[in-house]
Chains A and B, each alone.
Chain A
Amino acid sequence: MTTLFFWIFAVVVAGSALLAITRRNGVAAALWAASSFVGIAGVFVLLGAYFLAVVEVLVYAGAIMVLFLFVIMLLNLREADLKVVQGPRMHVGGAILGALFLAGLVWTCRRSGLFDVPLDAKGPVGETGAVAAPLFRDYVLPFEIVSFLLLAAMVGAVLLTKRRLS
Chain B
Amino acid sequence: MTYVLGKLLHIVIVAGAALPGLAAVLVWAERRVSAFIQDRLGPNRVGPAGLLQPIADLLKFIFKEDVIPGHVNKTLYVLAPAMSLVPALVAFCVVPYARGMAIADVNVGILLVFAISSIAVYGVSIGGWAGNSKYSLLGGVRASAQMISYELALGASCVPVFLVVGELNMEAIVAWQKANGWLVFYLFPAWIIFLVSSYAETNRLPFDLPEAETELVAGYHTEYSSMKFALFFLAEYIHMITASALSVTLFFGGYELPWVTLPGGAWGTVLSGLVFFGKISFFLFLFIWVRWTLPRFRYDQLMNLGWKILFPASLVVVLATAGWIAMVTP
Instruction: Answer yes or no: do A and B interact.
Output: yes
Contact residues of A with B, CB < 8 Å?
Answer: 25, 27-28, 31, 34, 38, 50-51, 53-55, 57-58, 61-63, 66-67, 69-70, 73-74, 126-128
Say yes or no: is B9 at the interface (Cβ < 8 Å to chain A). no
Would you call B108 and A66 a contact (CB within 8 A)?
no
Main secondary structure of the interface of B (DSSP, over half): helix
- Residues in chain B near residue A128, CB distance under 8 A: 108, 168
Q: How far is the CA of A55 from the CA of B114 in the complex (A)?
A: 9
Most chain-B CB neighbours within 10 Å: which of A27, A54, A57, A63? A54
List residues of B (78-117) whose CB comes within 8 Å of A's CBs.
Answer: 106-108, 111-112, 114-116
**What is the minimal beta-carbon distance from A45 to any residue of chain B, in angstroms?**
10
Q: Is the CB of A66 within 8 A of B115?
A: no
Are B122 and A34 in contact, CB atoms less than 8 angstroms apart? Answer: yes
Provide the bound-state CA to CA distance between A130 and B189, in Å.
29
For the complex formed, measure the closest distance between the CB of B137 and the CB atoms of chain A, giving whole angstroms. 7
User: B119 and A67: CB pair below 8 A?
Assistant: no
A63 touches B118 (CB 8 A): yes
Interchain CB contact under 8 A, B114 and A58:
yes
Query: What B residues does A127 contact at CB under 8 A?
Result: 107
Which chain A residue has the least Cβ–Cβ distance from B147? A66
Q: Determine how close the nearest CB of chain A comes to the CB of B218; give it in whole angstroms.
A: 18
Which interface residue of B118, B137, B141 has the most chain A CB atoms within 10 A? B118
Q: Is B126 at the interface (CB under 8 A from chain A)? A: yes
Whole-angstrom distance between the alpha carbons of A51 and B115 in the complex?
11
Looking across the interface, which residue of chain B has its beta carbon closest to that of A62? Answer: B118
Given contacts A31-B126, A73-B125, whether A58 and B111 have CB atoms under 8 Å apart is: yes
B248 at the interface (CB under 8 A from A): no
**Alpha-carbon distance between A155 and B119 when the two chains are bound, in angstroms:** 27
- Provide the residues of chain A in CB contact with B116, threshold 8 Å: 57
Let me know if B145 and A70 touch, CB within 8 A: yes
B115 and A73 contacting across the interface, CB-CB below 8 Å: no
Contact at A27–B118, with CB atoms within 8 Å?
A: no
Contact A62–B108 (Cβ < 8 Å): no
CA distance in complex: A63, B151 (Å): 9
Of B114, B137, B148, the residue contacting A66 (CB under 8 A) is B148
User: Is the pair B106, A50 in contact by a Cβ cutoff of 8 Å?
Assistant: yes
Cβ of A66 and Cβ of B122 under 8 Å apart?
Answer: yes
- Asked whether B111 lies within 8 Å of A51 as measured between CB atoms, the reply is yes
B residues in contact with A50, CB < 8 Å: 106-108
For A66, the closest partner residue in chain B by CB is B121
Q: Is the CB of A70 within 8 A of B119?
A: no
Within 8 Å CB of B111, what residues of A? 51, 54-55, 58
Binding site for A on B (CB under 8 A): 73, 76, 106-108, 111-112, 114-116, 118-119, 121-122, 125-126, 128-129, 137, 140-141, 144-145, 148, 151, 168
Instruction: Contact check, B141 vs A70: say whether CB atoms are below 8 A apart.
Output: yes
Not counting A63-B118, A73-B141, A126-B107, a sample of 10 additional A-B residue pairs whose C-beta atoms are within 8 angstroms of each other reads: A31-B122, A38-B119, A50-B106, A50-B108, A57-B115, A58-B118, A61-B118, A62-B114, A66-B118, A73-B125
- Nearest residue, chain B, Cβ from A74: B141
B112 (CB) vs chain A CBs: closest residue = A54
Name the A residues within 8 Å of B125 (CB-CB).
Answer: 66, 69-70, 73
The 30 sampled A-B contact pairs (Cβ below 8 Å) are A25-B73, A27-B73, A27-B129, A28-B76, A34-B122, A50-B107, A51-B111, A53-B108, A54-B114, A55-B111, A57-B115, A57-B116, A57-B118, A58-B114, A58-B115, A61-B115, A62-B115, A62-B118, A62-B151, A63-B151, A66-B118, A66-B125, A66-B144, A67-B148, A69-B126, A70-B145, A73-B128, A74-B141, A127-B107, A128-B168
Instruction: Determine the distance from Cα of A128 to Cα of B172 in the docked complex, in whole angstroms.
Output: 15
Q: Which residue of A lies closest to B113 (CB)?
A: A54
B75 to chain A: closest residue by CB: A28
Give the interface centre of A62, A67, A73 by most chain B CB atoms within 10 Å. A62
Minimum distance in angstroms from B171 CB to a CB of chain A = 16
The answer to whether B137 touches A73, judged by C-beta atoms less than 8 angstroms apart, is yes
**What is the CB-to-nearest-CB distance from B147 to chain A, in angstroms, rounded to a whole number?**
8
Bound together, the chains give a CA A31 to CA B76 distance in angstroms of 10
How far does the alpha carbon of A66 sit from the alpha carbon of B106 in the complex, in Å?
26
> Which A residues touch B121, using CB under 8 A?
62, 66
Would you give the shortest CB distance from B326 to chain A, in whole angstroms? 14
Please give the distance in Å from A42's CB to the nearest CB on chain B: 12
Shortest Cβ gap from A1 to chain B (Å): 11
A126–B169 CA distance with the chains assembled, in angstroms: 13
Asked whether B119 lies within 8 Å of A61 as measured between CB atoms, the reply is: yes
Name the B residues within 8 Å of A34 (CB-CB).
119, 122
- Inter-chain contact A62/B141, CB cutoff 8 Å: no
Name the CB-closest residue of B to A127.
B107
